[in-house]
């Protein structure tokens, strides 16, 4: 292996884990959702055991409902119900099911996936999380991508 090529390999071995770990670090902090939607960092997951939660800073908003939807690479459109099951969704906002997410102070804790085996799923999977107040809807979108097993 020549000297220039060796540095490239070392760089790849350092950069790829840094990107994966920094993505998880970014989502460790509460995120802010907006009325126009916000694009959140992708999350690399082990498809055999996927757990994803999100903490949202609601500031002074008073969320009345929370929701989570998924658009899969195979074309399914799903929503998470308040029991944690994924069910088909029509795409109509008035048919979203309230997830009753837990709020502490200005932070909303949204459960998305808990110890799910997604090894048979096609990736990426686009996840939308949001909440509704008496006067507006705020949301954010991110992708689950298949990481190294």
Query: Could you tell me the domains of the chain?
Result: 30-146 (2.60.40.10)
Eight-state DSSP code of residue 106: T
pLDDT the model gives residue 82 = 93
Alpha-helical segments (H) within 1-149? 3-28
pLDDT per residue as tens, the chain (149 positions): 455 544 444 443 443 443 344 333 336 789 999 999 999 999 999 999 999 999 999 999 999 999 999 999 999 999 999 999 999 999 999 999 999 999 999 999 999 999 999 999 999 999 999 999 999 999 999 999 998 75
pLDDT the model gives residue 3 = 52
């Amino acid at each position: 292996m020549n000297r220039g090529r060796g540095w490239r390999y070392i760089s790849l071995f350092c950069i790829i884990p840094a990107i994966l770990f920094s993505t998880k670090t970014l989502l460790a902090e509460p995120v802010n959702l907006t009325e126009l939607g916000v694009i959140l960092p992708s999350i690399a997951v082990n498809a055999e055991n996927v757990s994803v939660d999100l903490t949202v800073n609601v500031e002074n908003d008073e969320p009345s409902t929370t929701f989570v939807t998924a658009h899969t690479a195979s074309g399914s459109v799903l929503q998470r119900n308040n029991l944690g099951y994924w069910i088909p969704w029509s795409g109509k906002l008035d048919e979203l099911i309230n997830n009753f997410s837990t709020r502490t102070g200005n932070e909303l804790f949204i459960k998305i996936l808990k110890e799910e085996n997604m090894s048979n799923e096609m990736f990426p999977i686009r996840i939308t999380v949001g909440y509704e107040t008496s006067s507006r809807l705020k949301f954010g979108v991110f992708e689950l991508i298949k990481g190294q097993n």
